[in-house]
Amino acid sequence: MSVIQIDDSLLLRRLELSDISALQHVISGAFNSMDLGEEVARRLSLYCSSGQSQTRLTDQQDQQIPCEYWVLEGTCEHDCIGVCGLYRANWWWEGCLWLGWLAVDPSKQGHGYGTSMLNALITIARSRGASVLKVETSADGPATRFYLKMGFSVEGRLAQLYSANTDGVVMSRKI
Ligand SMILES: CC(C)(COP(=O)(O)OP(=O)(O)OC[C@H]1O[C@@H](n2cnc3c(N)ncnc32)[C@H](O)[C@@H]1OP(=O)(O)O)[C@@H](O)C(=O)NCCC(=O)NCCS
């Protein structure tokens, strides 16, 4: 599975090299950091040019952290609305996948795109053998409310994960 048609105007598909500059804009805006956007774009370019972007995470046994990046595309304008990674370090069991870099273009937030993207990612995660989905995010950030609404619960708090004053939380959901 490399494409999920969500509805007439939305699909979720694997990341391609040609998406990177649009996604740099999405990540910089969503996380409010140009530096972060540049760094993620650099890593995603390496990921695509290594060929990893065309392989399922279950077939990436040579990687320490097999992962797939998925892009939410508006089919009318072929624009990149959102992005998310699915990954699992190879020392974890195969039933647990993690979300990473889930982001929706700031100009499109609050219209249900994050919900549509996460629901489609859950379908993909199940197809990769997962029964549990986890995510690590800022303890006091707005994304925790998004994940709570999506059926995740807080499993634990990670003190001073992002800075001396910013804790993280791990949230989890059975899928
Ligand atoms: C979190 C994020 C992906 C949600 O995407 P979205 O398209 O805005 O989400 P939806 O429109 O589907 O919202 C679904 C629900 O999530 C909650 N929610 C979403 N954004 C929220 C915010 N900024 N503050 C509080 N609640 C929020 C709401 O409960 C909303 O339901 P409602 O509209 O019925 O109230 C998006 O806001 C984003 O990219 N944020 C910045 C990056 C980030 O923090 N990513 C998570 C890192 S792990």
Instruction: For a ligand 1 pocket test, name from 32, 105, 121, 146 the mutation site with the most ligand atoms within 8 angstroms of its C-beta.
Output: 146
Sheet strands (E) in the chain: 3-7, 10-14, 67-74, 79-87, 96-104, 132-138, 153-163, 166-174
Q: Do 116 and 142 share a domain, yes or no?
A: no
Other beta carbons within 10 Å of 117:
24
Binding site membership of 100 for ligand 1 (Cβ less than 6 Å): no
Q: Do 91 and 66 share a domain, yes or no?
A: yes
Q: Do 55 and 93 share a domain, yes or no?
A: yes
Report the pLDDT value the prediction gives residue 1, as an integer from 0 to 100: 73
Q: Do 79 and 157 share a domain, yes or no?
A: no
Q: Do 152 and 68 share a domain, yes or no?
A: no
Q: Do 126 and 141 share a domain, yes or no?
A: no
pLDDT digits (tens, 9 = 90+) for 103-114: 999 999 999 999
Binding site membership of 103 for ligand 1 (Cβ less than 6 Å): yes
Report the pLDDT value the prediction gives residue 2, as an integer from 0 to 100: 83
Tally of structural domains, the chain: 2
Q: Do 91 and 105 share a domain, yes or no?
A: yes
Q: Do 36 and 90 share a domain, yes or no?
A: yes
Report the pLDDT value the prediction gives residue 127, as an integer from 0 to 100: 95
Give residue 47's domain range. Answer: 3-130
Query: pTM above 0.85?
Result: yes
Spatial neighbors of 18 by CB under 8 A, at least 6 apart, are: none
Q: How far is CA 148 from CA 47, 74, 96, 144, 173, in A?
A: 30, 26, 18, 6, 9
Q: Do 101 and 15 share a domain, yes or no?
A: yes
Both tokens of residue 166? 């910013």
Q: Do 50 and 79 share a domain, yes or no?
A: yes
Using the mean position of ligand 1's atoms as its centre, give its distance from the Cα of residue 49 in Å: 31
Low-confidence ranges of the chain (pLDDT < 50): none
pLDDT digits (tens, 9 = 90+) for 61-80: 899 999 999 999 999 988 99
Instruction: For a ligand 1 pocket test, name from 6, 31, 109, 161 the mutation site with the most ligand atoms within 8 angstroms of its C-beta.
Output: 109
Binding site membership of 115 for ligand 1 (Cβ less than 6 Å): yes
